[in-house]
Amino acid sequence: MTDLHSEIEDGEAVLVIKQITVYANGEDIRKGRFITLTPTNTVWPPKAVEADSGEKVLGASMEAISDGKYGPVLVEGIIKMATGGVFGAGDPVKTDNEGLPVKSLAANDGLSGGRSYEHSTASGDKVLIFVCPDSHGIGT
């Protein structure tokens, strides 16, 4: 495991451009994980859970949020995250089934949670991620 920024706590945002408050709905949300909205979301603040592979990323949790509680989510900015796989600096990243960043491929259109500022050589590396979920049209 590589950690180029040991002075920065896991899940700590080093640049906050946009953040929102979400409600942990049905499960605890771990700090420094990609999150998604629940399919039945119709309220403010949004109901959220940790994102699984194949789900659209809203942002990254900035602190642990217990089920039934409110907490901050980074929607745009830079955060330190453990990785779920190998990718290069500048690669787009999406979520795996643990809410960790993995390389996003062309087939993952609309699922990107941002871009990596650094390369990850193995699952568990700790890198800075520029959180900027897809907000453009999806598909053909």
53-99 residue pLDDT tens? 989 999 999 999 999 999 999 999 999 999 999 999 999 999 999 99
DSSP three-state, residue 106: helix
Show me where the domains of the chain are located.
13-131
Give the tens place of pLDDT for each residue, 8-31: 999 999 999 999 999 998 899 999
Does 1 have pLDDT greater than 90?
Answer: no
- The CATH architecture annotation of domain 13-131 reads Beta Barrel (2.40)
Q: Buried (b) or exposed (e) across 16-40, using 16+ Cβ within 10 A?
A: eeebeebbbbeeebbbbbbbbbeee
Question: Position of tokens 């896991």?
Answer: 10
Burial of 125 (0-12, 13-18, 19+ CB in 10 A): buried
Residue 76: what pLDDT? Answer: 96
Q: Taking 90 as the threshold, does the pLDDT of residue 134 lie above it?
A: no
Task: Of 45, 57, 36, give the one whose Cα is nearest residue 108.
Answer: 57
pTM of this prediction? Answer: 0.90
